[in-house]
Amino acid sequence: MSAQPAILVLADGHVFHGQAFGKIGTTTGEICFNTGMTGYQEVFTDPSYTGQVIIMNNVHVGNYGVRKTDVESKSVKIHGLIGRNLEEKYSRLLADGNLNEYLIANNIVSIEGLDTRALVIHVRNSGAMNCIISSDNLDVDALKAQLAKVPSMDGLELASTVSTKEIYELGDTSSKIKVSVLDFGVKEHILQCLVDRGVHVRVHPAKTDFATLKAFNPTGYFLSNGPGDPAPMDYAIKTIKEVLKEMKPLFGICLGHQLLALANDIPTFKMHHGHRGLNHPVKNVITGLCEITTQNHGFGVDPDAVRKHPNVIVSHVNLNDDSIEGIKLKDRPAFSVQYHPEATPGPHDSRYLFDDFVSLMKSN
């Protein structure tokens, strides 16, 4: 590779110089960091990362190449990539190709050669903010002017832009356990975890109305993960309120967790820098057991509002910052978690939640 220079500019004025990787060009988004040591390809294809430029904490990224099956959606969803060492060479017999070619094919502008430790510490201390990466324009003033026009993630509705456009089905069509999924940017392995448990799944676009969801005659409903701010998603909140009236089991993950809270008049807020990685400790306060979890979210539910709500109980808490990681409704079979129990990649400590959901549907 040529050592073509690239530049990273943050919204607070900080400038970082490195080398180009992936597509030559310019990209913008909200900067965030992921603490995972592996699973970079699954991270890049997670629809929840739409609109974000990601710093990978691990020193070497790309060292085991890329593979067609290691994905969570049909395309790369991050808006840009920042790394210490982004590798072209890889050592994996099963790989289909290298990271540089993969990023070029998916039009992802990237920068390497940065002190990512210092950059992560800065983001952790200063908070999430917009940034711009460029390898075809090194004029800092021009980049700052372009960056100033990028909208904040706070108040940005993105789920409908990554959702499926058409209804589709997965799993055993003869199964008695049927789930209507509202797709706000669902990861493929979440759906696979349901299918593996004998569930017949029908996936619907984000803005599907309740009547269409109900027409499937589902045993339960599922609210998926997804990108952006949940607060502007009035269309989804309205539908979830109607779903809850039916008294059938409901399970939400990540954005789905936040939307379930909003449907119960619990506000959400933008976190200082969010939770992203494969190593976040969470306590199940009902069982007393702890889990190591996979996470990817920049918004959370208001902890005071949850604890004061007469009809909602806290089921899981984050052991790093005591944020709310799970809730359950007292008067109906509905629950949600902020993290990702499918965990691909990551520890499978939390996959019991899919079993709980299936058991709830069978008993209901």
Residue 167: is it exposed, middle or buried by C-beta count within 10 angstroms (0-12/13-18/19+)? middle
Provide the token pair at 133: 């990466």
Q: Is residue 112 among the annotated active site residues? A: no
Catalytic pick among 204, 257, 273, 340: 340
User: Could you read off the pLDDT tens digit of each residue along the chain, which spans 364 residues?
Assistant: 458 999 999 999 999 999 999 999 999 999 999 999 999 999 999 999 999 999 999 999 999 999 999 999 999 999 999 999 999 999 999 999 999 999 999 999 999 999 999 999 999 999 999 999 999 999 999 999 999 999 999 999 999 999 999 999 999 999 999 999 999 999 999 999 999 999 999 999 999 999 999 999 999 999 999 999 999 999 999 999 999 999 999 999 999 999 999 999 999 999 999 999 999 999 999 999 999 999 999 999 999 999 999 999 999 999 999 999 999 999 999 999 999 999 988 899 999 999 999 999 999 8
Catalytic pick among 189, 254, 257, 325: 254
Contacts of 145 (CB under 8 A, 6+ apart): none
The pLDDT value recorded for residue 1 is 47
Catalytic pick among 30, 188, 325, 342: 342
The pLDDT value recorded for residue 364 is 86
Q: What interhelical angle do 188-195 and 352-363 show, nearest 10?
A: 50
Q: Is residue 193 among the annotated active site residues? A: no
Q: How does strand 200-204 pair with strand 168-170?
A: antiparallel
Residue 217: is it exposed, middle or buried by C-beta count within 10 angstroms (0-12/13-18/19+)? exposed
Q: What is this structure's pTM?
A: 0.96
Contacts of 307 (CB under 8 A, 6+ apart): 314
Q: CATH for 5-147, among 3.30.565.10, 3.40.30.10, 3.40.190.290, 3.50.30.20?
A: 3.50.30.20
Alpha helices in 68-139 (DSSP H): 99-105, 116-126
Provide the token pair at 320: 């790093």
- Start-end of CATH 3.50.30.20 domains in the chain: 5-147
Residue 130, beta-bridge partner list: 30
Q: How does strand 324-329 pair with strand 312-318?
A: antiparallel
**How far is residue 262's CA from residue 146's CA, in Å, rounded to a whole number?**
34
Q: Considering the domain 159-363 in this protein, what is its CATH number?
A: 3.40.50.880
- Start-end of CATH 3.40.50.880 domains in the chain: 159-363
Q: Is residue 325 among the annotated active site residues? A: no
The pLDDT value recorded for residue 2 is 54
Contacts of 360 (CB under 8 A, 6+ apart): 220, 249, 333
